Amino acid sequence: MKIKRVEHIAIAVDSMKQSLELMRDTFGLELEYEEQIGQTKLAMLPVGQTYIELLEGQGPESGVTKWIEQKGTGLFHICFEVEDIEGAIAELKAKNVKLQSETWKTGHGGSKIVFLDPSCTGNVVIELAELPAGH
């Protein structure tokens, strides 16, 4: 599996508005886009070739809402960009690495994503993403 870069670092937040203001006013980061995926609102802020992804739960059943209830706000996961998500999944399965799902699903910006089970990554949530052509 070829990892191209750290695609984004995700942060679980209570308030998207306050977090966007903090990123803009403190660090000079500008919002590239916002998106709603299921019960999660996300915002992407570019930093060089990587992004900061802010995640805000949109209801009690949101994974982000549940995460914040259990662990508080802060670092949520690290995402690595890969060239071929299906090849990466096959390689990880061959290495007996547990995944949170058996196949990829659609994620931010139309990417193909899969999460590794934190029990096999030192309790760090790691996402792999194959971005659509042209990104």
pLDDT computed for residue 135 by the predictor: 66
Beta 3-12 vs 50-57: how paired, if at all? parallel
Contact 117, 99 (CB under 8 A): yes
Domain residue limits, the chain: 3-130
Q: What is the DSSP string of 48-96?
A: TTEEEEEEEE-STT-HHHHHHHHH-SEEEEEEEEES-HHHHHHHHHHTT
pLDDT computed for residue 133 by the predictor: 84
Q: Is 18 helix (H, G, I), strand (E, B) or coil?
A: helix
Contact 82, 4 (CB under 8 A): yes
pLDDT tens-digit series, residues 60-116:
999 999 999 999 999 999 999 999 999 999 999 999 999 999 999 999 999 999 999
Q: Does the pLDDT value for residue 44 go beyond 80? A: yes
Domain spanning 3-130: CATH 3.90.1650.10: no
Q: What is the b/e burial string over 73-104, where b = at least 16 CB atoms within 10 angstroms of the residue's CB?
A: beebbbbbbbeebeebbeebeeeeeebeeeeb
pLDDT computed for residue 88 by the predictor: 97
With a pLDDT cut of 90, the percent of the chain lying above it is 97
Contact 130, 112 (CB under 8 A): yes
- pTM: predicted TM-score of the whole model, two decimal places: 0.92
Q: Which helix (H) or strand (E) holds 130?
A: strand 126-130
